[in-house]
């Protein structure tokens, strides 16, 4: 195995602070991504096809599903390390980062945060091994940013069972998952609760959203739930209100912030290479001052963002991270990502919109990362509430 080196776009060498075991995992992950994902990702993206199964099991073998949780982690590790995993994944492909973020964070996170010890013991290992592919069903056709108040999917208690009716939209890998975590409003107490729903349950149907122009490898789905019967043992026992849903999102939002930086780095690395190769006015475009400015501004965004997320993840380990902290990280890094991928695409001229040149995928995927797990506006309002003490959502 090759030895660990920080990537050149980690300009201040933040990644050097990881433990030796964490660095070894990063090296193995880089080798896996270069061998298995990079060669096929553009074709998958163009054809809107999901990763072949061996990619899912390969990610599981690397221990990427379940690193935060006691039942499934391969070794004790830090939130900063898990952030670097998200960054390294997205640096190659934002869809593979999204797959890991969903399985490890949103799905296993829901069970780890809101499940009973028995539910954790039963379900987490199955997701960690890749035996089960999960999806996280919160957003609905009529409720996106306002899910805390607006969720319309209803769960009605019926003896030892719950009967769920409603619809979900945008659910990542929802058309191919084995199990979907469905968040629904309890018809009796009006509180949002989480349910572990096997997708083979009668009444569950999912249809892929077609013609999506970002994160095309991720299979987003519209889901309809019609009298879906779920046993009480599949209700996340600790989920009593939207507070638990928000706790899951707080964990994953900070990791999306790391993935946004990885996506920026993917575009930046392609731009640095192109700047050295493309000749105009008799010399590589990288020798022109304005091209150097685009690269320097991009590296500035990346470096500032890494500094910010390093601290916000350390706060998670310290137990001091609050909603507004992860929201600021998501808002800041995704905004910087949007600038960075645009500058890097610009550097390619016309070739910047051709898939073969390796930058336009990062440019397009940035739009999905910018909007999912809380839009810029929602994360800004969460920070604004913390600053002023006044909620300005409505």
Return the number of the residue (19 or 47) whose C-beta is nearest ligand FAD.
Answer: 47
Binding site for ligand FAD (CB under 6 A): 102, 136-139, 144-145, 170-172, 215, 220, 368, 371-373, 375, 377-378, 393
Angle at 196 between CA 194 and CA 198, to 5 degrees: 145
Question: Rounded distance, CA 301 to CA 298, Å?
Answer: 5
Return the number of the residue (31 or 377) whose C-beta is nearest ligand FAD.
Answer: 377
User: Taking the CA atoms of the chain, what radius of gyration do you get in angstroms?
Assistant: 21
Return the number of the residue (219 or 310) whose C-beta is nearest ligand FAD.
Answer: 219
- Minimum Å gap between C-beta 2 and ligand FAD is 33
Return the number of the residue (90 or 271) whose C-beta is nearest ligand FAD.
Answer: 90
Return the number of the residue (13 or 150) whose C-beta is nearest ligand FAD.
Answer: 150
Query: Residue 199 to residues 210, 278, 331: CA-CA distances in angstroms?
Result: 20, 50, 33
- Minimum Å gap between C-beta 375 and ligand FAD is 3
In the bound state, the residue with its beta carbon closest to ligand FAD is 144
Return the number of the residue (171 or 366) whose C-beta is nearest ligand FAD.
Answer: 171
Reduced to 3 states (helix: H, G, I; strand: E, B; else coil), residue 283 is strand
Return the number of the residue (6 or 144) whose C-beta is nearest ligand FAD.
Answer: 144
Tokens for 70? 């006691």
Query: Residue 386 to residues 145, 324, 389: CA-CA distances in angstroms?
Result: 18, 6, 5
Residues 6+ apart with CB under 8 A from 21: 75, 77
Tokens for 238? 């600790």
- Minimum Å gap between C-beta 172 and ligand FAD is 3
- Minimum Å gap between C-beta 384 and ligand FAD is 10
Question: Rounded distance, CA 363 to CA 382, Å?
Answer: 27
Residues 6+ apart with CB under 8 A from 189: none
- Minimum Å gap between C-beta 378 and ligand FAD is 6
Helix (H) or strand (E) holding 194: strand 192-198
Residue pair 242/314 in contact by the 8 Å Cβ criterion: no
- Minimum Å gap between C-beta 258 and ligand FAD is 17
- Minimum Å gap between C-beta 369 and ligand FAD is 8
């Amino acid at each position: 195995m090759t030895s660990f080196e920080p990537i050149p776009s980690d300009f201040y060498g933040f990644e050097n602070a990881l433990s030796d075991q964490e660095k070894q995992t990063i090296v193995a992950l880089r080798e896996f991504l270069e061998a298995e994902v990079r060669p096929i990702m553009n074709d998958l993206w163009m054809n809107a096809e999901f990763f072949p199964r061996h990619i899912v099991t390969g990610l599981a073998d690397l221990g990427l599903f379940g690193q935060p949780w006691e039942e499934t982690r391969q070794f004790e590790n830090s939130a900063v390390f898990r952030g670097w995993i998200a960054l390294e994944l997205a640096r190659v492909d934002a869809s593979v980062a999204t797959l890991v973020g969903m399985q490890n964070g949103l799905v296993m996170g829901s069970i780890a945060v809101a499940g009973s010890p028995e539910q954790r013991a039963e379900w987490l290992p199955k997701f960690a091994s890749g035996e089960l592919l999960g999806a996280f069903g919160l957003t609905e056709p009529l409720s996106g940013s306002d899910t805390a108040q607006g969720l319309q999917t209803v769960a009605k208690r019926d003896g030892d069972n719950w009967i769920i009716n409603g619809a979900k939209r945008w659910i990542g890998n929802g058309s191919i998952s084995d199990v979907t975590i469905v968040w629904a409003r309890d018809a009796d107490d009006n509180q949002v609760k989480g349910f572990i729903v096997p997708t083979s349950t009668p009444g569950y149907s999912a249809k892929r959203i077609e013609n999506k122009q970002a994160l095309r490898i991720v299979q987003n789905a519209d889901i309809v739930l019609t009298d879906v019967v779920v046993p009480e043992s599949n209700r996340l026992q600790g989920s009593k209100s939207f507070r638990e849903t928000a706790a899951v999102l707080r964990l994953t939002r900070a990791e999306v912030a790391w993935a946004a930086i990885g996506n920026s780095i993917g575009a930046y690395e392609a731009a640095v290479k192109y700047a050295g190769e493309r000749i105009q006015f008799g010399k590589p475009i990288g020798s022109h001052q304005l091209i150097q400015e685009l690269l320097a501004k991009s590296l500035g965004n990346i470096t500032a963002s890494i500094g910010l997320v390093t601290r916000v993840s350390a706060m998670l380990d310290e137990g001091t991270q609050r909603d507004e902290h992860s929201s600021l990280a998501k808002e800041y890094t995704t905004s910087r990502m949007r600038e960075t991928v645009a500058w890097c695409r610009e550097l390619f001229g016309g070739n910047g919109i051709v898939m073969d040149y390796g930058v336009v995928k990062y440019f397009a995927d940035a739009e999905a990362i910018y909007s999912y797990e809380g839009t810029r506006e929602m994360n800004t309002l969460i920070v604004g509430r913390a600053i002023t003490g006044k909620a300005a959502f409505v």
